[in-house]
Amino acid sequence: MPQLRIALAQVNPTVGDLGGNAATVVAWTRRAAEAGAHLVVFPEMVLTGYPVEDLALRRSFGSATRDRLDVLATELADAGCGDMAVYVGYLDRDDVGPRNGAAVLHGGAVVARQFKHHLPNYGVFDERRYFKPGHGLDIVRVRGLEVGMVICEDIWQEGGPIAALGRAGVDLVVSPNASPYERKKDDARLPLIARRAGEAGAPLVYVNQIGGQDDLVFDGDSMVVGADGSLLLRAPQFVEHLALLDLELPGGAAKTDAEADDEFTVRRVTVSDHPVPAYEPRHLPVIAEQLPEEAEVWSALVTGLRDYVTKNGFRSVVLGLSGGIDSAVVAALAVDALGSDAVHGVSMPSGYSSDHSRSDAAELAERTGVHYTEQPIARMVDVFVDQLGLTGLAEENVQARCRGVTLMGLSNQHGHLVLATGNKTELAVGYSTIYGDAVGGFAPIKDVPKTLVWELARWRNAEAEKRGETPPIPENSISKPPSAELRPGQLDSDSLPDYELLDAVLDDYVEGDLGYQDLIAAGFAPELVDRVLRMVDLAEYKRRQYPPGSKISFRAFGRDRRLPITNAWREGVHR
């Protein structure tokens, strides 16, 4: 029976770095060749990074990408990898327009090209703005086996190209992907891939990228599923990884050149027509365990923060340490992402700051080893308050804005990236000060509800204890009532409903997109719904000016949820 050793190259590309991404393809292909692989599959648009957004509309970028693909084919041959079939995602541009494509490189040349058929246009995706859809299917004969390909969204559609490949009688299907992470996504991903493998009547090789790109995070989780739905291989999440699998397939018989159907024209390309002699497998398939939910979310947040900082050329970050839970979790994430020496924490007490806010901030710095300074802001606040005659809310907000100015000054002076420490719940209801605690270049927990912030803190401390390490987050930061310390004795509960209840309403309204009557039917009190929805609707202008942050939910603020700032519609008010 023909045998094929296949390599899944789960790598972390950078958008726009054609040279660096090409070097990554060469390096990982060489590793695959040294391991005896015959075929290696890279993620969707690995040569350009994903998503390229409006770069796709630039002719200069499209031309450079297509030219770089040809150069990459010769570089692979020069590196001694010319005998391998290398699947590389890229951006194609010709008279038809820009297309999301994947090519097969072999023998120093591009021997096959295929373009994505289904262009997603929901959630974070806007591919119909950028790309033209593909129509044909290239089937490549590798080591006597016929290999078809579908690109990312093509496997999420029942029927279509994967069914056409099944009718064409392929022995194997490969699928390059750039599928962003969100919580519990694998509950849908693995069953879907199993269904598509059954539809194709052949094993399906799913290769996903890892890493952060602006507000998106990619988790990898690459896998191979048999035609019977069995999981044959799974790569670990959130790490670059080369996964290898030996496949014994009953194919190799000559196929006809007939089209699969009227919609998809099939072109067959032969790379090698000679089956490989049988041999003992050298690599046992690895099936990595799925991470528990808190570990998965924490890894996504660490990955997103790390890549945003490093890919944008920063070497260090700075954040305000209030002694509260949000800044403590952000500091712990930053240490895990970048190392303690790259993290600078600043305590900025005002005239209303409690003793425990200072001591908890100092304790966190001691536990994590971050650089720590104290910059009192009381005199700065007094200058603004006295000169402008500020009282009430205006005076309270000046405190936050003096802290924002302090952090931005340190950023400008030392080159740190400022981290905003607000969570999704605060962002939803506008419980933040624009140009104050909302300043920053990146917001690591922007998509994390307040109740999940507490869960992550407890989980991270428990993990440290399991490893015999010092838990990074002070217990008092977790257990004390949350407060922005805007005035003596002030608590968050003075302005907001209980966080458990508030997050439940927000989950239905933001994530579930339920209307007023639906929320009442779900059991929430009308006065609570009125209050929460009004806060959410009036805070849109703040969210538009908030820094980017890693998406972990089904519907994050930004790419996923786009509402007008000037908006007279109010749920529950009939006009």
Same fold, 3-270 and 293-544: no
The pairs formed by 59-67 with CB atoms below 8 angstroms and a separation of 24 or more are 59/93, 61/16, 61/91, 61/93, 62/91, 62/92, 62/93, 62/98, 63/93, 64/18, 65/18, 65/90, 65/91, 65/92, 65/93, 66/90, 66/91, 66/92, 66/93, 66/94
pLDDT at 573: 67
pLDDT at 248: 84
Confidence band (pLDDT; 50, 70, 90) for 266? low
What's the rounded mean pLDDT across residues 473-486? 85
pLDDT at 417: 97
What's the rounded mean pLDDT across residues 67-96? 94
Per-chain mean pLDDT for the chain: 90
What is the tens place of the pLDDT at every residue in 162-181? 988 998 889 999 999 999 99
Higher per-residue pLDDT: 266 or 64 = 64
Classified by CATH at the fold level, domain 293-544 comes out as Rossmann fold (3.40.50)
Residue 448, pLDDT above cutoff 80 = yes
What's the rounded mean pLDDT across residues 234-263? 75
Residue 260, pLDDT above cutoff 60 = no
Q: Which CATH superfamily is domain 3-270 in?
A: Carbon-nitrogen hydrolase (3.60.110.10)
pLDDT at 264: 53
**DSSP 3-state of 526:** helix
pLDDT at 143: 85
Confidence band (pLDDT; 50, 70, 90) for 575? very low
Orientation angle between helical segments 355-368 and 325-338, nearest 10 degrees: 20
pLDDT at 252: 57
Higher per-residue pLDDT: 67 or 132 = 67
Break the chain into its structural domains and give their ranges: 3-270, 293-544
Higher per-residue pLDDT: 460 or 125 = 460
User: What percentage of residues in the chain have a pLDDT greater than 90?
Assistant: 69
Residue 275, pLDDT above cutoff 70 = no
What's the rounded mean pLDDT across residues 423-436? 93
pLDDT at 249: 81
What's the rounded mean pLDDT across residues 41-51? 96
Confidence band (pLDDT; 50, 70, 90) for 4? confident
Query: What residues are labeled active site?
Result: 44, 116, 152
Residue 353, pLDDT above cutoff 80 = no
Round to whole Å and give the CA distance between 5 and 40.
9
Pairing between strand 241-248 and 3-10? antiparallel
Round to whole Å and give the CA distance between 306 and 289.
23
pLDDT at 483: 75
Confidence band (pLDDT; 50, 70, 90) for 136? confident
What's the rounded mean pLDDT across residues 24-52? 95
User: What percentage of residues in the chain have a pLDDT greater than 70?
Assistant: 92
Higher per-residue pLDDT: 473 or 125 = 473
Which H or E run includes 246? strand 241-248
What's the rounded mean pLDDT across residues 474-484? 87
pTM for this predicted structure = 0.92
pLDDT at 304: 97
Residue 258, pLDDT above cutoff 80 = no
Provide the H-helix boundaries in 35-159: 59-76, 127-130
Where b means 16+ CB within 10 Å and e means fewer, 543-571 reads beebbbbbbbbebbbbbbbeeeeeeeeeb
pLDDT at 1: 55
